[in-house]
Structure 1
Amino acid sequence: MTENPGPVRRRSMMWSGLENIAAPVRRLFATTSIFRLAVLATSSAPSTASPIRLPSRTERRIVAIGRALDAVAAGDLHRRLPVGSASDDLDRVAQAVNTMLDQLAETMEGLRQVSADVAHELRTPLTRLRTTLQRLEAQTDPLDRPIAKDALAQIDSINQVFRFMLQIAQIEAGSPRSRFVPIDMADLCRTVEELYEPILEDDGRPFTVDICGCGATWVAGDRDLLIQMIANLLDNALRHTPPGTGVAMRLARQSAGEVLLEVTDRGPGVPESERDKVFRRLYRLERSRGSEGTGLGLSLVAAVVSLHRSTVCLSDNDPGLKVSIVLPATAPG
């Protein structure tokens, strides 16, 4: 049976892939330099000279490769560069890059699987530990029960982290996509509004909701996950903003066949240099390290957004944070 290559072996395979790319890339740069010189010569020649152009087929291939690389850079590790039948330098570069992308995707999948396996394996012993602590709490001296209650709260917090990690792993695997149905985001946002309005009212916070009434806010998705996504954004806003500050939710239809969801607050916001990092698992801003939370709320949001082939962007609400999610619209169900 063939053994899976370890991390060191994978790394050496990737460096080998880079070496395979080096020679054709050098030739491409040389060709490009010659082409640029030819263009310069043509531009300085009389106006009757014919402009030099790349063959249309080569130009189309370069454009296709560029689009594929843009998709990979945006996080689509399943995208591959197109490989033709010419077996030229472009094809050799594309094949070598695709080989490295296969190895990178395998490594990333292995890391995701490890975190999911750890969370799954620890769930049972943690549940047993909680049961034991409950028994101890019932049997211990009343003066010592606060200690047992604190231990139970810590176990619950750990369990919540592992539940989030397992859920994120399931979402990233794409399994919930089989449950996608047409969903009216306007109706879904009203459901969330009904759930959170009493919470914000009790907390003395204004809650502004602006839902598009055009009836064209349908998306294909998993209703429970979309509700959890919005709930995580609202919980995040409540947790990281001063008491009494408002939270707003807006839903609108965009002209390009997209549905825009925004959740905004009036808190301290997120520094621009940290906005990509907050979607990482267990990542927390320095000022938030002492507050409640798992550090996985926005990671789950990012996973749900990716599952629905959507985009999420953090920006300044002046003051506060604006989270904008753009989902592809679909026909009403």
Structure 2
Amino acid sequence: MRGLPLRTGIRWKIAVAIAAVGAFIAVTLSVIVHNAARISMLDNAREVQMERLLFAQRLYETSKPKEPRFGAKINDPSLPGQLDQLMRDQRRGTYVQEHRHGGPPDVWAAVPLANGDVLSLHIPFADRSATIMKDLDRALVIGSVSVVFAGCASGVLIGGQISRRLRRAAAAAGRVAQGNGEVRVREAVGGFVRDETDDLAWAIDSLTDALNERIEAERRVTADIAHELRTPVTGLLTAAELLPPGRPTELVRDRAQAMRTLVEDVLEVARLDGASERAELQEIALGEFVDRRVRSMFPDAEVRVVHESWVATDPRRLERILGNLLANAAKHGRGPVEVAVEGRVVRVRDHGPGFPEALLRDGPSRFRTGTSDRAGQGHGLGLTIASGQARVLGARLTFRNVASEGAPEGVGGAVAVLWLPDHAPTNTGSFPILRVAD
């Protein structure tokens, strides 16, 4: 059962709980009312039976010859044992005799006479009383069923209200998780009555504000450090150009250029994290643009345009995304590198070991490449920048691995898919709902 979790909504849980409690209370009260009504009616029948017997006793003692009337009997052999014991003690009494085969019980009344005889009277429980009990039972059953259904309906209404508020809170929290820090869960929940849902929303909003402040502080520190490094690194690169030709000079220039590239990448990541970047849109033929840019950056890559499409996008940012994806494929994958354009979808594939599991699970992360090789294999900023630029374009960038037919285990390929939107991106970027099966 642990492997098969039962998922139900809070609405139905509350409805079932209220219905169960209502059914328990209704059944309990019905049993109590039924027994109390039956006992009361039997007690009343016993009193009536005793009054009849006393009236029959007076007639019996004053009449000549003495003959019992109204169905009374002298020394009835079927007198119940309990009444027989009372008669021996010279005490009058009544008794309700139940039948094993069912049916209405008999109501007995008996009195001792002066001569030692016993005058008794018994009749079945009145049919009218039995009819009243049946009507009462029917009313109790109908009332109990009505209470259960009413409780279930109220549970659905109450649970539905709570469920809607929680779904709104979850949707707002999802938008916050996508990077929209301006969303307030408390406003999304709404409502006039405050409950635990509002406390949860307030806690999420407080957590969002704290995380936004921390992220903004880290972004500012990163941007400030990168900006402060920019000037000395530029000076270092200029000084390296003045060194005499030779292998040491080439190494210094190479490292200085790598440091400059890293500083520029860190600054770009900081700008993307600040959500201040805006796309400058132009209408371009996507297939032609990708083919021209890929051939200029990576002539060895294979470009295939399956279907041409015109898109409104930022060519500079799109070129940056393509360059980073191709650079990642060249560094961490194997040839041939294939680029396919189909409508508004661009795929970049290599035939290497594929993306690491951490990247597929959590997405690109800065300063993490997923490889143990640290000898100039990058800083994990390329895919991070590509994802950030895609977000500015309102596009979606996904990563997956494929297995090549006949290739050894662990060798298949990494595929990065860029989904460009059908509409212009919003100020903060948008993620369109794509129905294309890949």
Same fold, judged at TM 0.5 (above)? yes
Partner Cα distance (1:83, 1:34) in 2: 20
Partner Cα distance (1:148, 1:277) in 2: 40
**Cα drift, residue 187 of structure 1:** 3.5
**Cα drift, residue 180 of structure 1:** 3.3
The 5 A counterparts of 1:237-316 are 237-242=329-334, 245-253=335-343, 259-276=344-361, 279-316=364-401
Query: Is 2:423 the counterpart of 1:330?
Result: yes
Partner Cα distance (2:223, 2:157) in 1: 49
CA deviations on 1:75-94 (whole Å, 9 max, x unpaired) are: 44343311425251222321
Whether contact under 8 Å (1:247, 1:263) holds in the other structure is yes
Q: Which has the larger radius of gyration?
A: 2
Whether contact under 8 Å (1:210, 1:250) holds in the other structure is yes
Indicate the SS of the match to 1:280.
coil
Match of 2:156 in 1: 53
Query: Is 2:217 the counterpart of 1:110?
Result: yes
TM-score (norm 2): 0.57
Whether contact under 8 Å (1:130, 1:155) holds in the other structure is yes
Per the alignment, do residues 36 and 116 of structure 1 end up closer, same or farther by CA in structure 2, a change over 3 Å counting?
Answer: farther
**Cα drift, residue 192 of structure 1:** 2.2
**Equivalent of 1:188, from 289, 314, 320?**
289
Q: AA paired with 1:209?
A: R
Query: Is 2:207 the counterpart of 1:100?
Result: yes
**Equivalent of 1:223, from 315, 319, 325?**
315
Partner Cα distance (1:280, 1:84) in 2: 35
**Equivalent of 1:86, from 192, 206, 209?**
192
Partner Cα distance (2:393, 2:207) in 1: 27
Query: Is 2:220 the counterpart of 1:121?
Result: no
Match of 1:9 in 2: none
Per the alignment, do residues 195 and 43 of structure 1 end up closer, same or farther by CA in structure 2, a change over 3 Å counting?
Answer: farther
Indicate the SS of the match to 1:54.
helix
CA deviations on 1:119-168 (whole Å, 9 max, x unpaired) are: 10111111222333333x23xxx6xx322321121111011000111122
Structure with greater helix share of residues: 1
Partner Cα distance (2:339, 2:373) in 1: 23
Per the alignment, do residues 40 and 152 of structure 1 end up closer, same or farther by CA in structure 2, a change over 3 Å counting?
Answer: farther
The 5 A counterparts of 1:119-198 are 119-135=226-242, 137-138=243-244, 145-177=246-278, 179-196=280-297
Whether contact under 8 Å (2:395, 2:418) holds in the other structure is yes
Query: Is 2:153 the counterpart of 1:68?
Result: no
Indicate the SS of the match to 1:88.
coil
Partner Cα distance (2:11, 2:294) in 1: 60
CA deviations on 1:241-276 (whole Å, 9 max, x unpaired) are: 23xx222222334xxxxx322211111112323435
Query: What are structure 1's unaligned runs of at least 5 residues?
Result: 1-29, 201-205, 254-258
Q: AA paired with 1:279?
A: P
Whether contact under 8 Å (1:119, 1:165) holds in the other structure is yes
Percentage of identical aligned residues: 24
**Cα drift, residue 101 of structure 1:** 0.6
Indicate the SS of the match to 2:328.
helix
Partner Cα distance (1:312, 1:330) in 2: 16
**Cα drift, residue 170 of structure 1:** 2.2
Q: AA paired with 1:237?
A: A
Indicate the SS of the match to 2:387.
helix
Indicate the SS of the match to 1:96.
helix
Q: AA paired with 2:173?
A: L
